[in-house]
Amino acid sequence: MQRERTVSIIRVFAAPRSRVFEAWTRAEHLAGWFCPNGFTVPECEADPRPSGVFRLCMRSPDGRDYWMRAVFSEVVVPERLVIAGAADDDQGIERIQTVITVTFAAQGGKTKLTLRATASGEGAEAGAMLDGMEQGWTETIGRLAAHLAN
């Protein structure tokens, strides 16, 4: 049975919009924050243009690799990104399809980020991934805040 989950997060960062946008579009930045707490990103590719690659590996604390394979389906510098693709389980099997929409609004010297991530999939593995989305995205956006503060 197909399940779907959507997570929405709004957060204001004490950083200019161009810097927050860059954190979402450059591999060297994504590798420093785009994963939940305890995970690392040992591999990452980002080509921020329509149909450009967005691919990264999230490694869990116990050494399991979870790949996200996607493309930038929309890029409006520095206002909006849409990333569409799939996430694999630790066996490399595609489990969920996902669409991530991020908007960046300038507010003085700060940036209001609005994230909407929708994912769907079938089976127990997909269900576990979907059940962890809220916590995973909350932690990931927290890591972005720490990354921007450095």
Q: Specify if 149 maps to a domain.
A: no
CA distance 60 to 43: 13
Angle at 47 between CA 46 and CA 52, to 5 degrees: 115
Cβ pair 46, 25 in contact under 8 A: yes
Longest dimension (CA), the chain: 46
Q: Specify if 88 maps to a domain.
A: yes
Q: Specify if 109 maps to a domain.
A: yes
- Domain region containing 118: 2-144
Q: Specify if 150 maps to a domain.
A: no
The pLDDT, as a whole number, for residue 94 is: 96
The pairing of strands 52-59 and 40-46 is antiparallel
Cβ pair 57, 43 in contact under 8 A: yes
Q: Specify if 20 maps to a domain.
A: yes
CA distance 26 to 107: 22
> Per-residue confidence of the chain (150 residues) as pLDDT tens digits?
899 999 999 999 999 999 999 999 999 999 999 999 999 999 999 999 999 999 999 999 999 999 999 999 999 999 999 999 999 999 999 999 999 999 999 999 999 999 999 999 999 999 999 999 999 999 999 999 999 998
Q: Which pTM does this prediction carry?
A: 0.96
Domains of the chain: total: 1
The pLDDT, as a whole number, for residue 1 is: 84
List the CATH number of the domain containing 73. 3.30.530.20
